[in-house]
């Protein structure tokens, strides 16, 4: 079975007995001076089954946003609405994505998923997250208009990527704090969910998988995640109070999860005994389920290559 088939069947709930493996390892580490010289060689050695692809157009005039911030200008919702979004249909902006698909899907036969903007997170960049949360309460009408406009742009971006042959659209939209949502469940349902529905409907037209990335505890939003038709959630963040028992009991028949190697509590702290215990425990709970073994976020710079190798040697043993 090819890697892209293994991942697809696992997401559908038909895991054949071999756990798909991936890891967010490309950033933060000094790969050039490692024994591999390139993170792609590490991916090959440990037979990663997925590829996380970035690139394409950016919705805002990045240089204008940066310039305004340097001048100390606080960007308001109305100011952002007055700024036109950047073109989404210039196919030359997708050239790097084509090349990544040729390499990972064509040559490596891996399951490819594309990083795309969400509704909340991408607007927190120009607005600043503290102001963004404030604006949701003070200017709900303007924020809803911003979200609607963003959803339309995101949906077209997702459709363009689907047409290139991507297996899954990965919507990055951090909603959670360490204990609960950053905003109220009512705000989530009334303000955030409609935009995600627009994106999800666009992806489903092309018959592709849809996944969500959100850090933190998003338990109050999970019913909405199901309604929106997400096929996979990353990470299922145990360190933020989301127990695997909860997923197994209530949600494992609704969507797959990706994660299990926690960069917040286990990987990168030099405690090999705890790291091994955590990985073995998670495999004992999730192996054979709708689970892709992966880091919960990008491996942090304090993680040594020796520790990363230790973790993936163990994962390679347990995945079989």
pLDDT score of 131:
97
Closest among 22, 301, 58, 300 to 167, alpha carbons compared: 22
Percent of the chain with pLDDT over 90: 99
Q: Which tokens is 65 given?
A: 């946003």
CB 3 within 8 A of CB 110: yes
| Average pLDDT for 29-37 | 98
The H or E element containing residue 52 is strand 50-53
Look up residue 97 and give its two tokens. Answer: 């994505």
* Confidence label for 16 from pLDDT (cuts 50, 70 and 90): confident
Compute the distance between CA of residue 318 and CA of residue 8 in angstroms, rounded to an integer: 20
Q: What is the pLDDT of residue 31?
A: 98
Query: Where are the domains positioned within the chain?
Result: 3-318
Q: How confident is the model at residue 251 (pLDDT cuts 50, 70, 90)?
A: very high
| Mean confidence (pLDDT) of the chain | 97
In tens, the pLDDT along 35-78 reads: 999 999 999 999 999 999 999 999 999 999 999 999 999 999 99
Could you name the CATH architecture of 3-318? Alpha-Beta Barrel (3.20)
- Chain centroid offset of residue 93 CA: 21
The packing angle between helices 272-286 and 305-318, to 10°, is 30
* pLDDT at residue 222 greater than cutoff 90: yes
pLDDT for position 15: 86
> DSSP label at 303?
S
Q: pLDDT tens digits, residue range 136-152?
A: 999 999 999 999 999 99
pLDDT for 17 beyond 90: no
Distance CA 185, CA 145 (A): 19
Q: What is the pTM of this model?
A: 0.96
Give helix then strand counts, H and E, for the chain. Answer: 14, 7
């Amino acid at each position: 079975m090819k890697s892209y088939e293994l991942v697809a069947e696992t997401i559908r709930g038909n895991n054949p007995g071999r756990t798909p493996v991936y890891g967010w390892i490309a950033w933060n580490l000094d790969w050039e001076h490692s024994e591999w010289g390139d993170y792609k060689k590490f991916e090959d050695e440990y037979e990663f089954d997925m590829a996380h692809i970035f690139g394409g157009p950016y919705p805002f005039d990045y240089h204008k946003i940066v310039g305004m911030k340097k001048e100390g200008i606080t960007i308001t919702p109305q100011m952002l609405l007055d700024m036109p979004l950047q073109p989404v249909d210039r196919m030359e902006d997708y050239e790097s994505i084509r090349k990544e698909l040729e390499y990972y899907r064509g040559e490596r036969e891996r399951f490819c998923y594309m990083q795309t903007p969400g509704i909340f997170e991408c607007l927190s960049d120009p607005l600043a997250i503290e102001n963004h949360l404030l604006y949701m309460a003070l200017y709900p009408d303007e924020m809803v208009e911003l979200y609607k406009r963003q959803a339309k742009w995101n949906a077209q971006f997702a459709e363009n990527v689907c047409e290139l042959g991507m297996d899954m659209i990965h919507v990055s939209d951090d909603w959670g704090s360490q204990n609960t949502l950053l905003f109220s469940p009512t705000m989530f349902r009334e303000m955030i969910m409609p935009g995600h529905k627009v994106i999800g409907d666009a992806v489903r037209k092309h018959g592709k998988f849809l996944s969500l990335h959100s850090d933190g505890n998003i338990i109050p939003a999970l019913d909405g995640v199901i309604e929106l038709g997400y096929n996979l959630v990353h990470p299922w963040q145990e360190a933020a109070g989301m127990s695997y028992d909860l997923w197994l009991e209530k949600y494992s028949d609704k969507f797959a999860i990706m994660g299990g190697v926690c960069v917040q509590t286990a990987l990168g702290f030099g405690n090999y005994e705890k790291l091994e215990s955590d990985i073995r425990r998670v495999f004992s709970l999730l192996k054979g389920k709708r689970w892709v073994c992966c880091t919960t976020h990008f491996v942090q710079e304090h993680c040594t290559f020796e520790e990363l190798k230790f973790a993936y040697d163990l994962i390679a043993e347990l995945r079989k």
